[in-house]
Amino acid sequence: MRTIDHLIAGEASSGGGGARSGDVFDPNTGQVQARVTLGTQADLDRAVAAAEAAQPGWAATNPQRRARVLFRFKELVEAQMEPLAQLLSSEHGKVIADSKGDIQRGLDVVEFACGVPHLLKGDYTAGAGPGIDVYSMRTPVGIGAGITPFNFPAMIPLWMSAVAIACGNAFILKPSERDPSVPVRLAELFREAGLPDGILQVVHGDKQMVDAILDHPAIGAVSFVGSSDIAHYVYSRGVAAGKRVQAMGGAKNHGIVMPDADLDQVVEDLAGAAFGSAGERCMALPVVVPVGDRTADALREKLIPAIHALRVGVSTDRQAQYGPVVNAAHKARVEGWIQKGVDEGAELVVDGRGFSLQGHEQGFFIGPSLFDRVTSAMESYREEIFGPVLQIVRAPDFETAVRLPSEHQYGNGVAIFTRNGHAAREFAARVNVGMVGINVPIPVPVAYHSFGGWKRSGFGDHNQHGMDGVRFWTRVKTITQRWPDGDAALSHGSEDGAAARVSDAFVIPTMG
């Protein structure tokens, strides 16, 4: 059986004797396809030692040369898009088109990071005082770490690592142990692109490795994406250890449907936003809020046949809208939330439980589910389901539609569907959520803007990628300088010996 090892100092490593391991499933069949090594403190220490040895030289490499490595990496990934997508789908379960999108959204951030020579330019003020100039520069944090979730095994590691590396840091990645192969392969391609050994390393593990990362004194910054409870834990423990931490948590994104919305377009958007990737996305749209019963009834009437028409299939089925969820435990969790909704009194209009795909009866498949008459008091509404389940929460008016996402514990994303520009503008200005879509169901910002939610969807002061990513992975150093007037005389030879001593004291590095 295939074994997935760490990548430390440019080499595969199985860790020390007696290392633990975990199962990696093929969600399409329900069978174990590989074993992943679960690392120890000793494995992390070796990765940190390699990072400490390599990072100063990488930081001293001029930004355009660092950018050239990113350009070469992007070309290598694009050439390997199909096998990478196949590998990703085989461990995650998402269909090939979604896997390619996962990789491409990561490459978008790589493209952004290729502009690092411009992104790292500091500020300069000449004549801030008599003969005084002030300037600032962005310097690397040193060693950073990323702890990433199973649902985007290419995109989120690249969101973190590309910007961190471009800024001159070494980076240690701990991917999800559920689908770890693609992160390792991406690190191998970075090395092939010319990245020095020790600058990007991959260590696998569970909570033991997470705690080791959060406690290690040489790691200066940690980026995390996962559930909100764990995000809060990572943020609190990391900050207590003196690190800067960005921790992105869960979500319960709402889609507000105004009476003037194009319902056919809304239904088409919801089919992808609510059920795509089996709902295993923090930017999925699992709650739809039609304003007024007439809107709700009309939307429900159109949703039911559209949901029944969704094709659930294996990851390699090019006609399938989505594939299986990641493992049996997650399947059971999602089905438990469906039962919870029934017990709470919501109307289960379409029940996706018990779905079985012929020839893949042991796969982790769940059919699409639709609830109506869900209320804000229900636990199944308050918590993140993270599966192919759509809930209709009826709102009597616009004010209620604004209040529902604003008062929810999560504040990741929200969308409004309307033809009314004033309503859209008013909603975007007032809603208490970090990312807003106007007739855009999944408002993930482009790579040169930043990604991040509010409330329990995000902990820390900086968002992912964009200039916020550059700010997170660098520290600002500000220099205030004044040169005494007497130094000018040295350059005219009035004190030749002193001038020679000054010039001998400095070695000016060549540009390259």
- Catalytic residue numbers read 282
Tokens of residue 386, six digits = 């993270």
How far apart are alpha carbons 99 and 94 in whole angstroms? 6
How far apart are alpha carbons 328 and 106 in whole angstroms? 27
How far apart are alpha carbons 286 and 396 in whole angstroms? 19
Counting Cα atoms < 13 Å in the Cβ hemisphere of 299 gives: 36
- 387 Cβ contact partners less than 8 Å away, ≥ 6 residues apart: 278, 279, 280, 325, 330, 333, 334, 337, 366
- Tokens 């012929």 belong to 358
Question: Measured in whole angstroms, how far is the alpha carbon of residue 12 from the centre of its chain?
Answer: 25
Count the neighbouring beta carbons within 10 Å of the beta carbon of residue 512: 7
How far apart are alpha carbons 486 and 183 in whole angstroms? 57
Return the closest-CA partner of residue 286 out of 277, 296, 295: 277
Q: Looking at the DSSP assignment, which residues form a beta bridge with residue 138? A: 476
Q: Are 341 and 362 in contact (CB under 8 A)?
A: no
Strand, coil or helix: 130: coil
How far apart are alpha carbons 231 and 235 in whole angstroms? 6
Residue 55 parent element (H or E) = helix 41-60
For residue 392, CA distances in Å to 254, 369, 463, 497 come to: 10, 11, 30, 84
Backbone angles phi, psi at 423, to 5 degrees: -60, -40
Q: Is 383 left (phi over 0), alpha (psi -120 to 50) or beta?
A: beta
Dihedral sign (CA 147, 250, 105, 235) = negative
How far apart are alpha carbons 353 and 358 in whole angstroms? 15
Q: Are 69 and 161 in contact (CB under 8 A)?
A: no
